[in-house]
C-alpha cells in the first residue's frame, strides 16, 4: 500500500468544498484514489489489489484491479479552480476476472472569472469475465464569474462474458454546458445498467447520448434518464440501442419541464435478431396539478410544493 504526494499543492477550503460535492470525503482515503487539480495529479494512493499508474502517451491514468478482488473502493475526483483552463484526461480501468469494485469519479468546477473553464474526461472500462462494477459519476459547478463551467464526459464500457456494470450519473447544479456520451459493447450473459439525473436552469444546455451494442446472447441493458429543465434551458436525450443477438433492452426518458425550457427525446432502437426484445419509453411534461394541490393542502406554498416534487423526482 502506497500513498504518494504528486504535487506540492495543498487542498484549500474551495478545493475541499468541491470534493465534498462530488465525492464522500471520509471514504476517499479508505481505498485507492487519485486526486486531479487544474490538470495535474496532486495525490494518489494504491492498495494491495488496486494499482494506479500515470499514462506516458497522453494525460490520464490507468487503474488496474486484480482478479478476485472483493469490495475494492476507488475514487478519482477532478477539481478545477483555474478560470480559462481546458482540461482533457483519459482514464482506463482494467477490472480483473470476478473482481468486485465500487468506483467514484466526477468533476467539480469553481469559476469566479470571465474565461470559460472546461473538463473533458474520457473513461474506458474493460471488464474481464464475471467482474462487477458499481460506478458513480457526479458533476458540479459553482462560482460568480461570467465564465462558463463546461463538462463533457465520455464513458466506454466493454463487458466480457458474465460481467456487469451499474452506472449512476448526476449533474448536481451549476454546469452551463454538457455533452455526455456513453457507449456499451456487451458480450454474452452481461448486464449494463445506467441511471442519470440532470437538472438545468437559466440558459444551460445538456445533451445525453447513449449507444449500446448487445452483441452477446442473453446480454441486457436498462437505460434510465430523469431530468428537470427550467427557465430557458435546453436538454436533449438520444438513445441508440442495437440488439444483435437474443437480448433485452429497456430505454426510458422521464422529464419535467417548466417555464420556457425545451426537452427533446429521440429513441433509436434496432433489432438485428428475431429474439431481440427492445423497449423505449419517454414522458415529458409539467408537474401534475393534483400533486401540487395535495402538498399545498398540507401547508406548503406552491413554490415549496414544486421543490419537494422535484427533489423526490430526482432522488
Q: In this predicted model, what pLDDT tens digit does every residue of 144-174 receive, in sequence order? A: 989 999 999 999 999 999 999 999 999 978 9
pLDDT at 42: 93
Q: Cα dihedral angle (305, 309, 310, 312), rounded to 10 degrees?
A: 140
Where does the pLDDT of residue 297 fall: very low under 50, low under 70, confident under 90, or very high at 90 and above? confident
What is the average pLDDT across 270-275?
98
The domains of the chain are located at 2-288
Residue linked to cell 494506479: 52
Contact 292, 302 (CB under 8 A): yes
Query: In whole numbers, what is the pLDDT of the chain averaged over residues?
Result: 93
- The number of angstroms, rounded, from the C-alpha of 104 to the middle of its chain's C-alpha atoms is 9
Q: Which residue has the higher pLDDT, 298 or 93?
A: 93
Angle, to 10 degrees, between the axis of helix 289-296 and the axis of helix 302-313?
Answer: 120
Query: Which residues, 6 or more positions from 178, have their beta carbon under 8 angstroms from its beta carbon?
Result: 139, 150, 151, 152, 153, 171, 205, 206, 207
Where does the pLDDT of residue 9 fall: very low under 50, low under 70, confident under 90, or very high at 90 and above? low
Instruction: State which H helix or E strand residue 14 sits in.
Output: helix 13-22
pLDDT at 251: 95
Contact 161, 189 (CB under 8 A): yes
Amino acid at each position: 500500500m502506497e500513498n504518494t504526494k504528486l504535487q506540492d499543492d495543498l487542498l484549500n477550503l474551495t478545493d475541499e468544498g468541491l470534493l465534498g460535492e462530488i465525492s464522500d470525503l471520509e471514504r476517499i482515503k479508505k481505498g485507492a484514489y487519485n486526486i486531479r487539480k487544474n490538470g495535474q495529479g496532486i495525490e494518489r494512493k494504491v492498495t494491495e489489489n488496486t494499482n494506479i499508474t500515470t499514462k506516458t502517451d497522453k494525460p490520464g491514468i490507468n487503474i488496474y484491479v486484480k482478479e478476485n478482488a472483493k469490495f475494492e473502493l476507488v475514487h478519482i475526483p477532478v477539481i478545477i479552480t483555474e478560470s480559462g483552463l481546458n482540461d482533457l484526461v483519459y482514464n482506463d480501468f482494467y477490472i480483473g476476472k470476478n473482481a468486485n469494485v465500487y468506483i467514484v469519479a466526477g468533476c467539480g468546477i469553481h469559476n469566479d472569472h470571465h474565461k470559460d473553464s472546461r473538463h473533458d474526461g474520457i473513461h474506458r472500462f474493460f471488464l474481464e469475465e464475471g467482474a462487477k462494477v458499481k460506478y458513480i459519476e457526479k458533476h458540479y459547478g459553482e462560482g460568480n464569474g461570467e465564465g462558463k463551467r463546461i463538462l463533457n464526459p465520455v464513458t466506454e464500457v466493454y463487458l466480457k462474458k458474465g460481467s456487469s456494470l451499474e452506472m449512476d450519473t448526476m449533474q448536481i447544479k451549476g454546469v452551463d454546458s454538457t455533452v455526455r456520451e456513453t457507449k456499451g459493447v456487451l458480450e454474452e450473459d452481461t448486464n449494463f445498467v445506467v441511471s442519470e439525473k440532470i437538472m438545468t436552469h437559466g440558459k444551460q444546455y445538456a445533451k445525453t447520448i447513449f449507444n449500446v451494442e448487445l452483441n452477446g446472447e442473453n446480454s441486457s441493458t436498462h437505460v434510465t434518464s430523469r431530468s428537470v429543465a427550467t427557465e430557458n434551458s435546453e436538454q436533449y436525450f438520444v438513445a441508440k440501442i442495437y440488439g444483435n443477438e437474443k437480448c433485452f433492452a429497456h430505454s426510458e426518458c422521464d422529464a419535467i419541464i417548466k417555464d420556457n425550457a425545451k426537452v427533446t427525446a429521440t429513441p433509436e432502437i434496432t433489432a438485428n435478431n428475431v429474439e431481440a426484445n427492445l423497449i423505449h419509453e419517454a414522458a415529458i411534461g409539467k408537474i401534475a396539478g393534483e400533486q401540487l394541490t395535495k402538498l399545498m393542502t398540507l401547508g406548503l406554498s406552491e413554490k415549496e410544493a414544486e421543490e419537494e416534487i422535484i427533489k423526490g423526482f430526482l432522488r
